[in-house]
């Protein structure tokens, strides 16, 4: 008999669970009772082990199917099934017999765990036709048991061939190779890809029971799709740049088709290298590209994937309902936007240019002011004829009778002189103000109008979809993109599809680039336009414009056949590539995204005369005014004549010896929740490993514990681990034994849960019969409150009475408990990391400044807690690992000596394994600071103005000229020498050099041919000397240095030493050769020694630093004439976060505030106080005009000294030769 208070607890527990859940489930399964069966067989033992290790999952039900041809075989299978469920299942395996499966009234998920019991191979063959995709998940786990013996290897091979046809690879076949009932049992599986065998099932013996003893070292379901042993995979693709670019050549396997590039081609190449498969590219026939997705009459790529002509498809393939229904979509690896490419705006007409100098608001203001004047004058005319009219007119317009005051207003506005001026003070004041305004308007209008007449200005292009719809432009799209227009039926008649040509999108973009007058638009991805603009950016008018409003988001993925086995391994590698940012990097290599905005038209550098076409607007205005005046005249004649005549979650339910409440609870929850039941679990020994989640399982968020007393609760809590439970989830503890010590028990339970940082908890204790009339109390606790910190004091949060319900209806069952810390202290472990963490002055030990210091101070103010700063000494992030191996600041978190740590903590997989990170609030780049290159010497600067090719051509020209002169003087006749060299052939060599160096000739040749040669040489050398002179001046003033390597491999090859702070080395964990060359340095060593070495030109060292640290240090170093420089290429991108314990409750309130800070721009604002881009260069360097120093022109003096030395040697040689001739 269930007591009345127990029914209250049942109702209350169910209500608590329903409150914490969101998405209902359809059914819940119960564990089977454990009858006392003592007999065991080898087959039952090994199959039970597999079921226990791989089929006992909280999110999946195992489907059991039996097939037998004889009555005896049926009995044996039923006996085997009974032993498996009773002896080995032990009530923890959720199963469903095939005979009990009814036709579902709604969608039934495919079975992912299947146990096939067959008497023989013939019986097993009857199951294969029933394995269909709508009922079974081919990527799930399958266990086949053959009862008859013996089973030959040929039978095993036939079974695996039947399974490979359906691409079911996660399968284990259990059989007996001998007829003995107690004989050994063999477990077989197969590999579809193995060395030398591609797509051919190769049987593999996993285990023999009980002969083999190493049971726990066996992987019963090894991965089959992580190593393809070089086998080729058929890849469906086509060219759509920059996603995929086809090039003719040999692919990655023998006999393959064209090769793929583009950033999706780079992704495919990475997959092929990682998984070791070849690429056989197959292109859709007749340039059908994407094609139509349909179960019948599909075309293009969709047909190739659906009919399994290819193993998968990749080429800008988006996710859609139709494609997902017939194909299997992989992980989304790229997200872009569908944009509308619009034509450039039409040029303004000459008449429209007359109104361009002023905005519409200015024209309206001028019109309003003029209109007010007209209204005042008209009002004066409508006043009575008595003295009032004359007085008002005299006060406003002056004493003298003005013939036409309205015309005078227009005269002043158009800068025309007035025939006379008024005498009154007020009219003169009005006149002076109106003249001043008109003067400014005329000056601004005239100056601006000249510029608008001189340039070809354009109407703004269509920027929104509404503007495109109003223009009636046609949409040119691919056939597969029609689904994006179906919600807008008014646009469907204006759709035009791309023709079936290779790379149809690029073809349409080229058409729009060459036909800017075409008023129609085209839809493609943003990356298509970026690639086109990067290729045609230097052509005049070659850039295409896009509308500011995108059509839709477009998610790109890889599509597979429905029964493909490739999805899991491909998705895992794709997710790693996507999270590392490689795809964004690859996409940036193929497109230039800065060309997406419309560029301003180039202004003329010189004024040009105004032509008649530019003044056509004024002429049109004149004709319009003449026409208006004519119409007004005719109207006056007529008037005169007329008058004159718009979830899915799972509950973890555990009970111990309290089964009387379970039935009522399950009846009220099975229609709303999926329930994972656990009753009286066996306690694991100390040497057993704690249980972990199976793949694709979620942490246990909704938890209901029904215990008899506090000891039962302790046994349940001892099984808690952060590998299975989400400690930030919802926990309801029900003590089902009536007791008068409810407050004490609730306090003990709450203190135990607070030790695990479980905050969202409600405790219900069954009262005694006497106390039950006052209802059931709900206990909880608030870890922070007025006057206490981090204590679990039990609080009666609510009371449930059966006749009234909850007493405090405004109290949430699980309130937010960490919105206010009531000035409680939080210990922060940190150390100086400039400019992120900067300790304050010595007097304020608990204050931090810097980028992250400001962040932490703002969190402290918003959440109302105090900071207790613990400076880690030595300053080091340390190594995150097991508690006995953690070092540095990580040890403070692992040993619970600090609540959190902050200070340039980059999120890594290793750190996240042992600690918990907050929302990534800032992105920082790690760069290499290097010394400047060695300066060019004075002689090197003389050769800098010209490239080596120009010096080579000049030397070649001189050599040819000197050779020709020499040949003519040695072997040419006298007339030929005079024709080519002039009258003085002996001075031709010297004359050629004189002209080159800008010197004059002693005598000019008289023959026309020689003069022509001289003129050509003069012209060529004049251009060379002019270019050399101008360029040399800039090189002498620039003080250029030799370039330094801009990446780490080049630095290593050049013999550079790499320095960095400790624990920056995690960047190079994947590069052991680089990690061996790293030298660790402290902050004091860096500021005292390394900074000075980085100022020495050509010093072979580099330091890994955040770019924010570089600018922060340069702010002070530049005042001393020093500067830290870094190479162009970044080394690593760090995502910064706050780290704390794995189960800490601080992450929830911290993440909410961090998201607000980031989205509002506060983080960037705080960072700008310390990270100022202008300090990447020396802002104090004088950049004005400077005199040329002697050190700048040492090179010419060195050449002069060398020339003097050579001339001296030549002079001494001539004297010796003359002396020898005299002696002879």
The C-alpha R_g of the chain, in whole angstroms, comes to 44
State residue 82 phi and psi, 5-degree precision. -65, -40
The pLDDT assigned to 731 comes to 92
Q: Are strands 650-655 and 674-679 parallel, antiparallel or unpaired?
A: parallel
- Which of 296, 284, 322, 302 lies closest to 500 in space, CA to CA? 284
Distance in angstroms (rounded) separating the CA atoms of residues 630 and 624 = 10
State residue 674 phi and psi, 5-degree precision. -90, 125
With beta carbons less than 8 A apart as the criterion, state whether 777 and 799 touch. Answer: yes
Identical fold at 9-18+650-806 and 925-934+1041-1133? no
Indicate the average pLDDT of the chain: 79
The pLDDT assigned to 400 comes to 47
Render pLDDT for 559-617 as a digit per residue (tens, 0 to 9). Answer: 999 989 899 899 999 998 888 888 888 888 887 776 444 444 444 444 444 455 554 55
More confident residue, 301 or 1087: 301
Alpha carbon 725 to chain centroid distance? 30
**Segments making up each domain of the chain, as ranges:** 9-18+650-806, 39-209, 357-454, 818-921+1137-1181, 925-934+1041-1133, 945-1038, 1192-1223
Superfamily of domain 39-209: Response regulator (3.40.50.2300)
Please say if the pLDDT value at position 359 is more than 80: no
Distance in angstroms (rounded) separating the CA atoms of residues 506 and 529 = 9
Please say if the pLDDT value at position 6 is more than 50: no
Confirm or reject CATH 3.60.15.10 for domain 818-921+1137-1181, answering yes or no: no
Confidence of residue 55 (pLDDT cuts 50, 70, 90): confident
Return the minimum-mean-pLDDT range out of 40-54, 582-596, 790-804, 977-991.
977-991
Render pLDDT for 489-548 as a digit per residue (tens, 0 to 9). Answer: 899 999 999 988 888 998 999 898 888 888 899 999 999 998 998 888 767 657 888 888
Q: Is 1136 helix (H, G, I), strand (E, B) or coil?
A: strand
Share of the chain above pLDDT 70, in %: 77
Q: Which two tokens stand for residue 220?
A: 């019963």
The pLDDT assigned to 922 comes to 93
The pLDDT assigned to 29 comes to 34
Q: Are strands 1101-1106 and 1125-1126 parallel, antiparallel or unpaired?
A: unpaired
Write the burial class of residue 493 (CB in 10 Å: 0-12 exposed, 13-18 middle, 19+ buried): exposed
The pLDDT assigned to 1188 comes to 56
Q: What's the distance, Cα to Cα, between the start and end of the chain in Å?
A: 148
Q: Which two tokens stand for residue 139?
A: 């990527």
Render pLDDT for 880-906 as a digit per residue (tens, 0 to 9). Answer: 888 888 888 999 999 999 999 999 998
pLDDT (mean) for 1044-1053 = 81
Distance in angstroms (rounded) separating the CA atoms of residues 702 and 20 = 7
Please say if the pLDDT value at position 1174 is more than 90: no
More confident residue, 783 or 22: 783
Share of the chain above pLDDT 90, in %: 19
Please say if the pLDDT value at position 31 is more than 60: no
- Calculate the alpha carbon distances from 1213 to 332, 1199, 1204, 1217, 1221 in Å: 83, 21, 14, 6, 12
Q: Are strands 111-118 and 62-67 parallel, antiparallel or unpaired?
A: parallel
925-934+1041-1133: what fold? D-Maltodextrin-Binding Protein; domain 2 (3.40.190)
Highest mean pLDDT among 40-44, 126-130, 420-424: 126-130
Please say if the pLDDT value at position 1181 is more than 50: yes
With beta carbons less than 8 A apart as the criterion, state whether 862 and 797 touch. Answer: no
Render pLDDT for 822-863 as a digit per residue (tens, 0 to 9). Answer: 999 999 999 888 889 988 765 456 788 999 999 999 999 999
pLDDT (mean) for 360-387 = 77
* Site of tokens 């490239």: 947
pLDDT (mean) for 703-708 = 88
Distance in angstroms (rounded) separating the CA atoms of residues 634 and 580 = 79
The pLDDT assigned to 190 comes to 93
The pLDDT assigned to 601 comes to 43
9-18+650-806: what fold? Rossmann fold (3.40.50)
- Calculate the alpha carbon distances from 667 to 29, 664, 802, 972 in Å: 12, 5, 19, 120
CA angle 564, 567, 571 (to 5 degrees): 170
Query: What are the contacts of 257-261 at 24+ separation with CB within 8 A?
Result: 257/281, 257/282, 257/283, 258/283, 260/235, 260/314
Query: Please, what's the b/e burial string for 200-228 (b: 16 or more CB within 10 A of its CB; e: otherwise)?
Result: ebeeeebbebeeeeeeeeeebbeebbebb
Distance in angstroms (rounded) separating the CA atoms of residues 607 and 612 = 16
* Site of tokens 């500021």: 1087
- Which of 463, 484, 471, 472 lies closest to 338 in space, CA to CA? 484
3-state secondary structure 21-62: CCCCCCCCCCCCCCCCCCCCCHHHHHHHHHHHHHHCCCCCCE
Q: Is 559 helix (H, G, I), strand (E, B) or coil?
A: strand
Please say if the pLDDT value at position 1182 is more than 60: no
Distance in angstroms (rounded) separating the CA atoms of residues 361 and 369 = 12
- Which of 514, 523, 529 lies closest to 494 in space, CA to CA? 523
The pLDDT assigned to 21 comes to 41
* This model's pTM is above 0.75: no
């Amino acid at each position: 008999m269930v007591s009345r208070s127990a029914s209250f607890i049942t109702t209350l527990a169910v209500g608590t669970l329903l409150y914490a859940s969101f998405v209902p489930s359809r059914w819940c399964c119960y564990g089977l009772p454990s009858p006392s069966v003592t007999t065991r067989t080898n087959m039952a033992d090994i199959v039970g082990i597999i079921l226990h290790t791989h089929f006992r999952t909280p999110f999946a039900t195992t489907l059991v199917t039996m097939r037998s041809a004889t009555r005896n075989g049926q009995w044996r299978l039923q006996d085997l099934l009974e032993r498996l469920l009773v002896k080995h299942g032990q009530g923890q395996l959720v199963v469903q017999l095939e005979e009990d499966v009814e036709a579902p009234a709604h969608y039934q998920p495919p079975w992912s765990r299947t146990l096939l019991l067959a008497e023989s191979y013939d019986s097993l063959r009857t199951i294969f036709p029933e394995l269909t995709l709508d009922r079974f998940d081919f990527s799930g786990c399958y266990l086949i048991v053959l009862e008859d013996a013996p089973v030959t290897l040929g039978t095993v091979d036939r079974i695996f061939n039947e399974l490979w046809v359906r691409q079911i690879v996660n399968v284990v076949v259990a059989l007996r190779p001998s007829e003995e009932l107690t004989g050994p049992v063999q477990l077989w599986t197969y590999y579809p890809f193995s060395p030398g065998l591609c797509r051919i099932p190769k049987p593999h013996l996993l285990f023999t029971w009980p002969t083999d003893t190493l049971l726990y070292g066996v992987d019963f379901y090894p991965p089959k799709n992580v190593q393809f042993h070089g086998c080729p995979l058929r890849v469906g693709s086509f060219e759509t740049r920059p996603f995929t670019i086809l090039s003719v050549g040999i692919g990655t396997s023998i006999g393959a088709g064209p090769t793929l590039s583009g950033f999706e081609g780079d992704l495919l190449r990475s997959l092929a290298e990682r998984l070791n498969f070849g690429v056989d590219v197959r292109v859709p026939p007749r340039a059908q590209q994407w094609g139509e997705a349909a179960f019948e009459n599909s075309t293009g790529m969709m047909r190739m994937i659906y009919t399994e002509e290819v193993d998968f498809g990749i080429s800008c393939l988006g996710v859609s309902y139709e494609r997902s229904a017939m194909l299997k979509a992989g992980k989304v690896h790229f997200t872009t936007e569908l944009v509308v490419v619009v034509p450039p705006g039409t040029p303004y007409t000459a008449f429209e240019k007359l109104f361009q100098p002023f905005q519409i608001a200015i024209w309206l203001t001028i019109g309003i002011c003029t209109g007010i004047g007209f209204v005042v004058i008209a009002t004066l005319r409508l006043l009575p004829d008595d003295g009032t009219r004359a007085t008002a007119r005299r006060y406003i317009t002056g004493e003298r009778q003005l013939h036409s005051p309205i015309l005078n207003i227009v005269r002043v506005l158009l800068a025309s002189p007035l025939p006379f001026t008024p005498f009154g003070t007020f009219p003169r004041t009005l006149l002076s103000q109106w003249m001043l305004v008109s003067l400014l308007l005329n000056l601004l209008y005239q100056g601006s109008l000249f510029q608008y007449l001189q340039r070809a200005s354009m109407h703004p292009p269509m920027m929104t979809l509404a503007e495109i719809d109003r223009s009636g432009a046609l949409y040119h799209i691919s056939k597969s993109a029609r689904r994006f227009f179906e919600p807008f039926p008014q646009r469907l008649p204006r759709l035009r599809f791309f023709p079936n040509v290779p790379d149809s999108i690029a073809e349409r973009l080229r058409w729009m680039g060459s036909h800017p007058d075409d008023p129609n638009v085209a839809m493609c991805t943003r990356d298509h336009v970026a690639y086109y603009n990067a290729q045609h950016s230097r052509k005049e008018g070659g850039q295409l414009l896009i509308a500011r409003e995108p059509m839709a988001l477009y998610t790109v993925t890889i599509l597979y056949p429905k029964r493909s086995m490739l999805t899991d391994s491909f998705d895992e590698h794709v997710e790693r590539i996507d999270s590392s940012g490689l795809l964004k990097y690859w996409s940036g290599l193929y497109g230039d995204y800065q060309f997406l905005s419309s560029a301003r038209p180039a202004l003329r550098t010189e004024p040009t005369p105004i032509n008649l076409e530019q003044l056509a607007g004024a002429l049109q205005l004149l004709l319009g005014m003449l026409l208006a005046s004519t119409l007004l005249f005719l109207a006056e004649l007529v008037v005169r004549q007329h008058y004159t005549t718009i979830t899915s979650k799972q509950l973890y339910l555990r009970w111990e010896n309290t089964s009387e409440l379970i039935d009522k609870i399950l009846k009220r929850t099975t229609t709303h929740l999926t329930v994972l039941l656990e009753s009286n679990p066996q306690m694991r020994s100390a040497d057993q490993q704690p249980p972990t989640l199976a793949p694709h399982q979620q942490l246990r968020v909704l938890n209901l514990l029904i215990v008899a007393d506090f000891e039962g609760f302790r046994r349940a809590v001892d099984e808690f681990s952060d590998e299975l439970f989400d400690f930030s989830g919802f926990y309801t503890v029900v003590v089902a034994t009536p007791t008068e010590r409810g407050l004490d028990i609730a306090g003990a339970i709450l203190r135990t849960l607070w030790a695990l940082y479980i905050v969202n908890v409600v405790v219900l204790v069954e009262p005694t019969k006497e106390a039950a009339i006052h209802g059931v109390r709900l206990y909880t606790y608030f870890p922070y409150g007025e006057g206490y910190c981090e204590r679990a004091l039990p609080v009666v949060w609510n009371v449930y009475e059966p006749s009234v319900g909850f007493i405090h209806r405004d109290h949430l069952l699980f309130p937010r408990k960490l919105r206010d810390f009531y000035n409680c202290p939080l210990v922060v472990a940190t150390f100086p990391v400039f400019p992120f963490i900067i300790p304050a002055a010595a007097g304020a030990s608990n204050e931090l400044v810097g980028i992250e210091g400001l962040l932490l101070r703002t969190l402290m103010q918003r959440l109302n807690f105090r900071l207790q700063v613990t400076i880690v000494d030595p300053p080091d992030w340390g190594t995150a690992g097991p508690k006995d191996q953690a070092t540095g600041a990580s040890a403070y978190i692992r040993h619970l000596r600090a609540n959190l740590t902050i200070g340039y903590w980059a999120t890594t997989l290793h750190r996240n394994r042992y600690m918990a990170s907050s929302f990534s609030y800032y992105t920082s780049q790690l760069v290499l600071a290097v010394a400047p290159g060695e300066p060019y010497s004075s002689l090197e600067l003389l050769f800098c103005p010209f490239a080596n090719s120009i010096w080579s051509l000049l030397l070649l020209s001189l050599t040819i000229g000197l050779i020709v002169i020499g040949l003519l003087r040695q072997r040419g006749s006298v007339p030929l020498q005079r024709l080519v060299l002039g009258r003085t052939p002996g001075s031709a060599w010297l004359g050629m050099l004189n002209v080159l160096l800008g010197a004059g000739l002693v005598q000019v040749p008289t023959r026309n041919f020689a003069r022509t040669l001289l003129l050509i040489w003069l012209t060529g050398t004049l251009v060379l000397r002019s270019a050399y002179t101008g360029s040399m001046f800039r090189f002498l003033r620039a003080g250029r240095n030799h370039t330094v390597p801009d990446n780490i491999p080049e630095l290593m090859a050049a013999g550079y030493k790499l320095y960095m702070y400790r624990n920056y080395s995690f960047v190079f964990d994947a590069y052991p050769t680089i990690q061996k060359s790293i030298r660790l340095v402290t902050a004091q060593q860096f500021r005292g020694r390394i900074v000075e070495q980085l100022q020495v030109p050509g010093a072979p060292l580099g330091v890994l630093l955040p770019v924010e640290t570089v600018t922060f240090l340069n702010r002070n170093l530049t005042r001393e004439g020093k500067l830290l420089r870094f190479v162009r290429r970044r080394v690593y991108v760090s995502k910064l976060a706050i780290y704390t314990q794995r189960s800490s409750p601080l992450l929830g309130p911290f993440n909410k505030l961090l998201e607000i800070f980031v989205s509002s721009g506060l983080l960037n604002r705080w960072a700008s106080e310390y990270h100022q881009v202008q300090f990447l260069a020396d802002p104090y360097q004088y950049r004005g005009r400077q005199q040329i120093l002697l050190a700048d022109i040492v090179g010419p003096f060195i050449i002069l000294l060398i020339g003097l030395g050579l001339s001296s040697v030549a002079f001494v040689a001539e004297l010796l030769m003359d002396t020898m001739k005299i002696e002879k």
